[in-house]
Amino acid sequence: MAGRSLRRADLTKEQRMSLRQKVDEATALAVAKFLEPIFPGDDPEPMASEFAYESLLGAYIIEQNPYEVLAADARPKIPDDHDEEGRWVRKSGILRDRSVFSPLDTHTPIPAGQPFQFVFEDLPHLEDDLQVPESSPGPAPAPGDVPSDGIRQYAHNVVKIVRLRYAIEGRKKMPDGHFQRGFILMAYSGGDSSG
């Protein structure tokens, strides 16, 4: 007898995190096996790690959805070609046509784009130390302690935005009978113009 279709939303947070780690490992292994015959004698590990990271980044973005449980939405078709757009995938900004396949020249300063104020809680244990690679955060405040002295804001010059539209099936429908719309905005900003 066939069981019901298992959905990602059926997993606990801990199960999802464990599964994500297993998918990360399996992705890296699959990419390495694919690359070995194409580039014999070369180490496929760096590229395999990059593909695994891309997979984790996608999962992280989807898990940040504040409106509904996982898998309760109709997601956009991701274009096969990075230059393409679709009805639910659109791009804007002064560098909208630039990507990792056609990046801005390294000697050309990153232009100033549309300013966006990023406002966040001023938490000492999460203060940016500008280290590369990123260092681990300090210890979090004890429960009940005042975690911050206020807020900080930083103006990002956004040079490219990729907008992904999706239908929020887990919430009530709109008066016209359509599902509510949600959007994921991926904003790209650089610091060349402001130092």
- The secondary structure of 18-51, three-state, reads HHHHHHHHHHHHHHHHHHCCCCCCCCCHHHHHHH
45-70 per-residue burial string, b: 16 or more CB within 10 A, e: under 16: eebbeebbeebeeebeebeebeebeb
**Domain co-membership, 163 together with 114:** yes
Residue keyed to tokens 């975690």: 147
pLDDT for res 195? 42
pLDDT tens by residue, 127-181: 887 778 888 888 877 777 766 678 888 888 999 999 999 888 877 788 888 888 8
pLDDT of residue 70: 67
The tally of domains found in the chain comes to: 2
> Residue 12 domain-assigned?
yes
103 with 53, same domain: the answer is no
Same domain, 106 and 137: yes
User: What digits encode the pLDDT tens for the residues 29-38?
Assistant: 888 888 888 8
The verdict on 47 and 131 lying in the same domain is no
Which residue spans within the chain are E strands per DSSP? 73-74, 89-92, 114-121, 151-168, 180-189
In this structure, are 82 and 147 located in the same domain? Answer: yes
Q: To 5 degrees, how large is the angle CA 71–CA 166–CA 76?
A: 90
Check residue 193 and give its pLDDT.
45
Nearest of 124, 194, 131 to residue 158 by alpha carbon = 194
**What residues make up the domain containing 38?**
8-64
Q: Could you say which of 64, 84, 107 is where a domain stops? A: 64
Query: Dihedrals φ, ψ of 163, to 5°?
Result: -110, 125
Residue with token string 């580039």 = 39
What local confidence, expressed as pLDDT, does residue 92 receive? 96
Residue 103: predicted pLDDT: 93
Q: Are residues 40 and 115 in the same domain?
A: no
pLDDT in tens, 55-108: 889 888 988 888 877 667 788 998 989 889 999 999 999 999 999 999 999 899
Closest CA to 9 of 88, 62, 76: 62
Q: What is the pTM of this model?
A: 0.79
In a domain, 1, yes or no: no
Indicate whether 36 and 87 sit together in one domain: no
- Considering the domain architecture, whether residues 194 and 121 belong to the same structural domain is answered as yes
Of the candidates 164, 162, 166, 160, which has an alpha carbon nearest to the alpha carbon of residue 181? Answer: 166
Instruction: Identify whether residues 147 and 104 lie together within a single domain.
Output: yes
Is 2 within the bounds of a domain?
Answer: no
Question: Do residues 181 and 85 both lie within one domain?
Answer: yes
The two tokens of residue 107 are: 């000697």
Is 3 part of a structural domain of the chain?
A: no
* Whether residues 133 and 159 fall in one domain: yes
* Two structure tokens written together for 114: 């549309």
Residue 1 has pLDDT above 80, yes or no: no
Shared-domain flag, residues 158 and 83: yes
Whether the per-residue pLDDT at 121 is higher than 90: the answer is no
